[in-house]
Every structure is written in C-alpha cells, then in structure tokens.
C-alpha cells in the first residue's frame, strides 16, 4: 500500500536519524559482536505465552483506561495479518517514539495515515502488523496499534532488541529540537502510560530491567539493560527518536502518569 501524501512511514527496525543519544549506565553496552543472524521480524517471537496466561494486576496504583480508537474503527485490513498475537508476561517499560512525518496533518486524516503505515509495516517490512502498540495524534486521540488486545502485553516491533516486555507509543509527528510539542499530545500519552503500566503495577517514575534480544540495539544480545519505565526509543536503540523536544517532555509525562495512578 502506498503511503498517503505527505506521510513518511518511518523505519522502526533501523535508525532513521543520525543524532546522538546519551550513553546508558547500569547495563552492559553493546560490544563489537556481530549482529544476530536471526531476521529482526523473527526475533519478535522469542517470548510467547498463550491466551489466558495474562491477567491485569489490581491495586491502589491503577488508572482509568483512556478512550482508544480501535483497529476496526480506523479501518485496519486484517487480511494483511497472518500470525496470532505474541505476548510477554507483563509490560514493564514504555518506549516513546515519533513517527517522523510532518506535523501539519489534519487529525481527521489520521485513520488513512495509519492504514498506510500498517500496509508498509505488515507487507513492506514483513512485520506482519503495525510495529507500534499505540499511536497518539497531535489532537490527543489515542489509536490501537498492533493487534492482540490493548490491555494485554503484546510484543510489538518498535524497539530493536527490547520489544519483549515493553509497549511502544508513537507520537504522530516529528519532534526534533525547536519543534513545539502539543500539550494535548503529551497529556494523552501520560494518560495512556498511567493506564498501561498500571495494569502491571508499574510506577511510571521507576526503572526496570529488560534483556536485549539483538546486538544491533545499544546493548549486546543477552545483556541486561536498565531503563526508566517511561523511556525514549533512543535509550534502547542507536537513533534520536523520539526527537529532542519529545525527549525533554518525558519527565513531565512520567510525573503526570504517576499522579494519575495516585502516586
């Protein structure tokens, strides 16, 4: 499927930017190892549990589910998908992305933009589905991304090496240095983060460990990496996504999400 006019479908498996990200501490950095010979799309299937193995945690630090536009509502063609959803035990980290497209889109056209991205990810990149778990537009509308259940720990294709145990939330737009980030967008991301991490009792201000599944990330395959529970894509992979301006908003998103959880 061709991309809609003005829409740049971003490659989420490889760095699309030349910017630098801060070095991480508390985990082994990627070494000179040769990257795994396993194709990236196949590495997303390393951790699978059957339906029914997941039940959301209940506790004092949950948050209400925000309104989410379903795949059916934005017109996902489910004939493009051929594999069942894959699941981790829980989502412990959220990676925030940007889609690297122009910011002047009309929010009414977002469903068509998502259909174009879905077609590119599912067939053009052979990921079988859209890579992100959720997408959020500049008007603050949240969209369901990868299939499998919004309240379940679906393994996506958004953070090379760290899809297992994480959720990918993509801000629709480009947020490099000097680009304003709409408050409606960050507020919606905070609400989504509060709910999604709250399902597993995770504090949005905390830190959590994930194990790298791919040496093309910032960490050697098999290395234990410690992330903020709300991190930018650039923290795990050699990219400047989600852009400098969005990265600067992450502390605010963490604090808002924590307050929504009653922390």
Q: Are strands 142-144 and 134-136 parallel, antiparallel or unpaired?
A: antiparallel
> What is the Cα–Cα distance from 46 to 208, expressed in whole angstroms?
20
Query: Tell me: the pLDDT tens digits for 168-199?
Result: 999 999 999 999 999 999 999 999 999 999 99
> What is the Cα–Cα distance from 59 to 56, expressed in whole angstroms?
10
Q: What's the CATH number for 63-260? A: 3.40.80.10
pLDDT of residue 134: 99
Q: Report, as an integer, the average pLDDT of 89-95.
A: 98
Residue percentage of the chain with pLDDT more than 90 = 75
pLDDT of residue 61: 86
pLDDT of residue 262: 96
pLDDT of residue 143: 99
Lowest mean pLDDT among 50-54, 123-127, 169-173, 254-258: 50-54
Nearest to 89 by CA among 201, 169, 191, 170: 201
SS3 per residue for 216-263? CCCCCCCCEEEEECEEEHHHCCCCCCCCHHHHHHHHHHHHHHHHHCCC
Q: 126 with 120: CB under 8 angstroms?
A: no
pLDDT of residue 56: 52
Whole-number average pLDDT of the chain? 83
pLDDT exceeds cutoff 50 at 8: no
Query: Tell me: the pLDDT tens digits for 209-224?
Result: 999 999 999 999 999 9
Task: Name the pTM for this structure.
Answer: 0.81
Q: Report, as an integer, the average pLDDT of 80-106.
A: 96
Alpha helices in the chain (DSSP H): 40-43, 71-74, 110-119, 183-198, 244-260
CA angle centred on 52, ends 47 and 58, rounded to 5°: 100
Query: Tell me: the pLDDT tens digits for 125-173?
Result: 989 999 999 999 999 999 999 999 999 999 999 999 999 999 999 999 9
Q: 171 with 134: CB under 8 angstroms?
A: no
Q: Per-residue confidence at 18, pLDDT binned at 50, 70, 90?
A: very low
């Amino acid at each position: 499927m061709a991309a809609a006019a003005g829409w740049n479908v971003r490659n989420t498996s490889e760095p699309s930017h030349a910017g630098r990200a801060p070095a991480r501490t508390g985990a082994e950095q990627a070494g000179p190892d040769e990257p795994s010979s396993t194709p990236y799309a196949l590495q997303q299937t390393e951790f699978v549990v059957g339906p029914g193995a997941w039940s959301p945690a209940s506790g004092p630090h949950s948050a209400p589910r925000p309104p989410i536009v379903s795949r059916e509502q934005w017109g996902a063609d489910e004939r493009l998908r051929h594999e069942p959803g894959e699941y981790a035990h829980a989502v412990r980290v959220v990676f925030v992305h940007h889609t690297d497209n122009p910011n002047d889109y009309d929010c009414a056209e977002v469903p068509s933009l998502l259909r174009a991205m879905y077609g590119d990810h599912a067939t053009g990149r052979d990921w079988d589905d859209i890579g992100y778990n959720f997408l959020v537009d500049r008007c603050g509308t949240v969209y369901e991304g990868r299939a499998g259940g919004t309240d379940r720990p679906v393994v996506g294709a958004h953070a090379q090496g760290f899809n297992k145990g994480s959720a990918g939330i993509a801000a629709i737009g480009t947020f490099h240095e000097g680009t304003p980030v709409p408050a409606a967008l960050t507020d919606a991301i905070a609400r989504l983060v509060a709910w999604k991490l709250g399902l597993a009792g995770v504090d949005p201000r905390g830190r959590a460990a994930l194990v790298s599944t791919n040496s093309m990330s910032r960490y050697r395959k098999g290395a234990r990496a410690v992330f903020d529970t709300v991190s930018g894509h650039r923290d795990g992979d050699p990219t400047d996504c989600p852009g400098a301006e969005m990265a600067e908003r992450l502390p605010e998103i963490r604090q808002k999400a924590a307050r929504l959880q009653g922390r």
